[in-house]
């Protein structure tokens, strides 16, 4: 009789462990998703404001603000190549709070500063928020469930972009908040939720031994280690970075000028359209990425991810070709191009580099690689926006964007196929 409790405990242990393995990834995914989605409230909602009629130096004030923020974001990505690569676990929550607080404070100063000087504060805002992805992803990388967790986190790009814009539009339409104060007030709405979600992040346990065995240990990378990695994989990373530039161009124009695109398509006063369309896209992307998470062998998943990206480029290309020839409705075109570009963009920000490191058993971190790609992606995004403004290209945003998608999708398909063959060859050589 005395042995019964221990027998019951030994029987229940597998069940407890199973529940832990099932629920822990869900908790981590929820914490990462909600934290990054809340941070989006300090970055994107201002694009709902078009600042009609306000121009300086022949450029719309809206574009000047976007250029300023994206420039700040780009600069943080270059700085983040070192900062995120060398990031340690201790004190990450303090770093998040300090950076977001400065970004939010910059929105306050934007509200009380007359145009065009608000540009200065959007530069600061973009620089501070540019580190957020790498910091939050450091909580989730290197796990057997990272594909699922990273995909959930990454769709916050899509969902949060639509949801926070809907909140911003709601503040303007229902509460009469001005375009100048709307960015700061949107941040106020999300301040308390963000504090709680940061607390959730800090409760995430580190990867266990099984995670390390399957995905390799994730460590900070000093300058020498970064140089050694680039010597070994530099050509492939260059190809991937160029491909990612094309995805960033598609994504950033759509994201920054989404309000303009929907206005041209006849949805000027429909503040729910942002959430409805982006939520649908989020669910489809999550399903696709979740299926990739079921593939345990890293190199197999890494190969398949390449073809998912190619399929995304093709989807965006076909949809834009039909739209340009007036054979596709504008709303459906927006939905399909969004789906296509995120089929490529989300893997690069969640599982592409994760599986690359795991396949080649690199002792490093994903943030270093993401920030290399991101830095150049945002650099070219700034160049494209400036080109449209300074070259005085008098296209509507829908025309400009549809032709951009056609061009970059074609180049993106070529780049992705080259990356596939390069890394396949590297893998065969390493394992021969």
According to DSSP, the β-strands at 59-60 and 55-56 are: antiparallel
What does the pLDDT look like over 31-62, one tens digit per residue? 999 999 899 889 877 777 777 778 888 778 88
Q: CA 197 to CA 432: how far, in whole Å?
A: 46
| C-beta atoms surrounding 7 within 10 Å | 9
What does the pLDDT look like over 258-280, one tens digit per residue? 777 777 776 666 656 666 666 77
Domain 27-431: CATH architecture, name and number where available:
Up-down Bundle (1.20)
Q: CA 332 to CA 321: how far, in whole Å?
A: 13
Q: CA 396 to CA 357: how far, in whole Å?
A: 42
What pLDDT tens digit does each residue of the chain (432 aa) get? 444 455 555 555 666 665 666 788 889 999 999 999 899 889 877 777 777 778 888 778 888 888 898 889 889 988 988 888 888 878 889 999 999 999 999 999 999 998 889 899 999 999 999 999 889 988 988 888 888 888 788 777 777 777 788 888 888 888 888 888 999 999 999 999 999 999 999 999 888 888 888 888 888 888 888 889 889 899 999 999 999 888 888 877 777 677 777 777 766 666 566 666 667 777 888 788 778 878 888 899 999 999 999 999 999 999 989 988 888 887 788 888 888 888 888 888 778 888 998 889 888 788 888 888 888 888 887 787 777 666 665 667 777 788 888 998 999 999 999 999 999 999 998 887
Instruction: State the DSSP H helix or E strand holding residue 36, giving kind and residue range, or none if neither.
Output: helix 4-40
- pTM for the model: 0.75
Q: CA 98 to CA 102: how far, in whole Å?
A: 6
Where b means 16+ CB within 10 Å and e means fewer, 364-375 reads bbbbbbbbbbbb
Evaluate the CA torsion angle 284, 37, 84, 77 in order and state its sign: positive
Cα torsion through 194, 198, 199, 202, rounded to 10 = 170
Checking 17-25 for CB contacts under 8 A at 24+ apart, the result is 24/145, 24/205, 25/143, 25/145, 25/148, 25/149
Largest CA distance in the chain: 88
Q: Which of 234, 350, 375 is nearest to 292 (CA)?
A: 350
Cis peptide before 116 (omega within 30 of 0): yes
Query: What distances in angstroms separate CA 309 from CA 239, 277, 338, one per listed residue?
Result: 14, 21, 13
User: On the CB side of 245, how many CA atoms lie within 13 Å of its CA?
Assistant: 18
Q: 60: which strand partners? A: 55
Q: CA 423 to CA 233: how far, in whole Å?
A: 9
Q: CA 178 to CA 171: how far, in whole Å?
A: 9
Two tokens, residue 344: 């490529």
CB 250 within 8 A of CB 256: no
Domain residue ranges in the chain: 27-431
What is the reported pLDDT for 273?
63
φ and ψ of 180, to 5 deg: -70, -40
Q: CA 422 to CA 91: how far, in whole Å?
A: 38
Query: What distances in angstroms separate CA 44 from CA 164, 166, 167, 378, one per listed residue?
Result: 7, 11, 11, 15
CB 344 within 8 A of CB 405: no
Query: What distances in angstroms separate CA 4 from CA 9, 16, 87, 167, one per listed residue?
Result: 9, 18, 49, 57
């Amino acid at each position: 009789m005395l042995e019964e409790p221990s027998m019951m405990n030994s029987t229940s242990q597998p069940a407890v462990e199973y529940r832990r393995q099932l629920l822990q990834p869900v908790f981590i995914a929820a914490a990462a998703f909600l934290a990054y989605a809340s941070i989006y409230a300090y970055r994107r909602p201002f694009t709902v404001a078009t600042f009609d009629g306000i121009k300086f130096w022949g450029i719309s004030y809206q574009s000047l603000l976007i250029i300023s923020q994206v420039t700040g974001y780009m600069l943080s990505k270059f700085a983040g190549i070192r900062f995120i690569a060398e990031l340690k676990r201790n004190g990450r929550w303090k770093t998040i709070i300090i950076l977001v607080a400065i970004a939010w404070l910059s929105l306050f100063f934007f509200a009380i500063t007359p145009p065009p000087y608000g540009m200065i504060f959007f530069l600061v805002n973009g620089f501070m928020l540019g580190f957020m992805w790498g910091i939050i992803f450091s909580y989730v990388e290197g796990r057997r469930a990272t594909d699922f967790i990273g995909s959930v986190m990454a769709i916050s790009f899509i969902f949060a972009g639509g949801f926070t814009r809907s909140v911003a539009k709601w503040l303007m339409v229902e509460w009469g908040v001005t375009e100048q104060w709307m960015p700061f007030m949107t941040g106020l709405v999300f301040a308390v939720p963000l504090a709680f979600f940061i607390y959730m992040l800090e409760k995430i346990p580190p990867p266990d031994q099984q995670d390390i065995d399957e995905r390799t240990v994730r460590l900070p990378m000093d300058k020498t280690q970064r140089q050694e990695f680039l010597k070994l994989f530099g050509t492939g990373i260059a190809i991937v970075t160029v491909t990612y530039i094309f995805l960033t161009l598609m994504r950033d124009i759509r994201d920054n000028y989404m309000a303009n695109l929907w206005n041209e398509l006849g949805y000027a006063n429909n503040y729910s359209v942002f959430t409805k369309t982006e939520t649908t896209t989020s669910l489809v992307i999550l399903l696709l990425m979740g299926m990739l998470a079921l593939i345990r062998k890293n190199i197999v998943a890494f190969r398949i991810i390449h073809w998912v990206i190619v399929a995304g480029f093709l989807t965006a290309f076909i949809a834009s070709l039909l739209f340009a020839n007036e054979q596709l409705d504008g709303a459906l075109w927006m939905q399909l191009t969004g789906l296509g570009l995120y089929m490529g963009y989300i893997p690069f920000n969640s599982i592409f580099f994760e599986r690359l490191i795991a396949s080649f058993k690199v002792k490093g971190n994903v943030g270093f690689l993401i920030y290399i790609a991101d830095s150049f992606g945002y650099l070219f995004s700034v160049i494209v926006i400036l080109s449209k403004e300074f070259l005085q290209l008098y296209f509507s945003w829908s025309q400009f964007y549809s032709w951009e998608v056609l061009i970059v999708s074609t180049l993106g398909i070529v780049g992705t196929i080259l990356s596939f063959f390069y890394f396949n060859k590297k893998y065969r050589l390493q394992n021969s």
